[in-house]
Structure 1
Amino acid sequence: MITFQIERRSGVATYMQIVLQTKQALRLGVLVPGDKLPTAKEVVQTAAINPHTVLKAYRELEREGLVELQPGRGTFVRRGLGTPDATSDAPLRAELTAWLRKAEEAGLDAEDVTALFDACRAEVYTAAGSATRTGPKQH
């Protein structure tokens, strides 16, 4: 089961942090269709947030078709966001992990890495290029 980590000083609304963390778990295959999300009460106990915030996040995920709220039963994942073959990401994940270790050894902290990543991502995924691309870029 997923445990939400709320960053109070991040500048991102709490409900949106829940939405984004759920989407990340779906992309990484941590959550798969049929999995049950924690109840609002469980999230309130672990993250010390308002239950309405949790419900707002779950309603947003439901609106996007990612989860289904089943009264009396809970909130369940309807569909994932990962690739059909999650093992195809393994080599990239290993390379990225190695790169992150090098960045840490070089003295970069998490915020430095995020800024560098965002700058590089902007270079590679331009608005026009990434919006229309349907598969891996051919070289």
Structure 2
Amino acid sequence: MDVDKCDSPSPIGFRLDPGSGVPTYLQLVQQVEQAVRLGYLRQGDQLPRVKDVVAGLAINPNTVLKAYRELEHRGLVAGRRGVGTFVEGTVERVGLREQAALHKSLLVWMRTASEAGLDEEGMSALFTAALHDLRKSRAGRADEEGGNGRAGVGA
């Protein structure tokens, strides 16, 4: 399901994956965060109006409002009564050149994975497992370096 940008001044359109297991409002939150992270949305850009999202995705207005409230809570957007919801915050970003190079490398990896017989779900599972391993190795390194918040306690 997609809500496109034709009737809205927003540079982002939302889509839902009903089979993802991710709550609808979180899918909207994640898409806004990703759009900001990748530079598709910038400070001052307007998010789609609630009524446009509701009409385009056939979802409850409270779901969209919940997503927008969560984004406000995270400091990423702010609502302006009677005007709309606008991007105000930022998230950590990698430079455009670096993103382009990483994107190209990832496409090569995906083609290789596809040729090896992995479908999209298999690629996603493998990527998620590798991301989990990366997080674990970072956490282990932080613990070794005293980054566990307990450095010097009891010494």
| Aligned mate of 1:128, from 136, 139, 143 | 139
Percent identity over paired residues: 48
Relative to the length of structure 2, the TM-score reads 0.78
State the SS of the aligned residue for 1:29.
coil
Q: Matched residue pairs, number? A: 133
Deviation digits for residues 52-87 of structure 1 (CA, Å, limit 9, x no counterpart) = 100100000000000010011100001222426332
Distance 1:21 1:129, change over 3 A: farther
Show structure 1 runs of 4+ deviating over 4 A.
129-132
Distance in 2 separating the partners of 1:28 and 1:129: 29
1:74 aligns with 84
- Spell out the pairing of 1:1-139 with structure 2 (5 A cutoff): 1-83=11-93, 85-126=95-136, 128-129=139-140
Structure 2 portions without partners, runs of 5+: 1-10, 144-155
- Cα 1:73/1:83, change in 2 over 3 Å: same
Aligned AA for 1:15?
Answer: Y
**TM-score with structure 1 length normalisation?**
0.86
Structure 1 residue runs of 5 or longer lacking an equivalent are 133-139
More RCO (CA 8 Å, sep 6+): 1
Q: From the CA coordinates, give the structure whose radius of gyration is larger.
A: 2
Q: Is residue 69–residue 75 contact of structure 1 (8 Å, CA) maintained in 2?
A: yes
